[in-house]
Amino acid sequence: MPHYLKVLELFSGIGGMHTALKLSDLPGEVVAAIDINSVANEVYSHNFPQVKVLRRNIQKVTPAFVAKLGVNAILMSPPCQPFTRVGNKKDLDDKRSVPLAHILNILPELVNVRYILVENVTGFECSEAGDQLRATVTQCGFEFRELMISPLQLGVPNCRERYYMIAVRKPAKFLDEIPPREELDSARIKELLGNVNARHKAPSRVSDILELPDNSDAYGDFLLPEDVLRKRAWILDIATKPSTRTCCFTKSYTHYVEGTGSVYCPFDEETIAKVYASTENMDQLSSEYLETLATLRLRFFTPREVQRTLCFPDWFDYPADVTRRQKYRLLGNSINVHVVSRLIQIMVNVIDS
């Protein structure tokens, strides 16, 4: 039998790690969750009212506080901005790296913590913060593996590659199942995570995530604005019902268009290609150009559809006062719970033999 997990969820956001733990079907509970974002905490408490959700700086977490909670696992997704192009890659010089550095500083005193799972953006693996993480967990007697995983590798229609570390205090038999990161190609990732029990069925194509019927009265609420069609039509990533891929949805989805996520079209790719081809010689300022593109009925994905690409189940909901824009931002900062639930299972060595 696996250990009963008593989890401290740090940088908890809307509760992605908690959702992943719930979907893993492992015996355990989240004892406390900590995040500085009050809206994210509101969403977390709405879905998990039994959990102590604390709005505080991670730097205020002390070894005594963690010991009092009686936790044996820490699940965390630290801020990614210090390691992204948009965040200028300041790494440890970015003030948003301070909370992670603090947790690593007190880790030697957290002697009852047996499991650690970390998620971050691609690029973290070659950062100074990544070096510090590896050095600290090793110093503290953990064995670990690092993985770069995109949901696409598990058949989920969303390109969202992320860095993951799973660490277990020695001895850690789970390491026998996982080769070093540089030896993990897509086929091995699919084999490794595909052998884990999964109660929650993940989507495999865009049709699986759709919330709005194409003839829905609400469809028009998500249509792309005219200025986006005029100025950005040729850089859109368009997904259709059979599509098995969407771009990574970021917190800026709908606010900006380029590089923030895909848009949906109810027509097939052949129709899309014909419409685009017919506009090539049109004046982009003309009404004809706009009217022609409008026939494609291109729309943004709804927050629930974005949520489904992250594999959150439909029981996960939001308080009534959380706006659509806030939902997009919160989801853009969250995790793919399908991937993490399988990593949690592997971490506690419950691979289905």
If we measure between CA atoms, which residue out of 312, 346, 305 comes closest to residue 202? 312
CA distance 340 to 76: 11
The catalytic residue among 80, 247, 248, 311 is 80
**Catalytic site includes residue 80:** yes
If we measure between CA atoms, which residue out of 210, 233, 176, 212 comes closest to residue 349? 176
Q: In this structure, are residues 21 and 89 in contact, taking their beta carbons and an 8 Å threshold? A: no
Cα distances (angstroms) measured from residue 53 to each of 39, 96, 264, 310, 323: 12, 20, 36, 22, 21
Three-class secondary structure assignment of 224-267: CCHHHHHHHHHHCCEECCCCCCCCCCCCCECCECCCCCCEECCC
CA distance 148 to 246: 18
Q: In this structure, are residues 8 and 331 in contact, taking their beta carbons and an 8 Å threshold? A: no
Q: Could you identify the residue written with the tokens 């606010």?
A: 255
CA distance 327 to 300: 13
CA distance 322 to 147: 34
Longest Cα separation, the chain: 69
Q: Which residues are catalytic?
A: 80
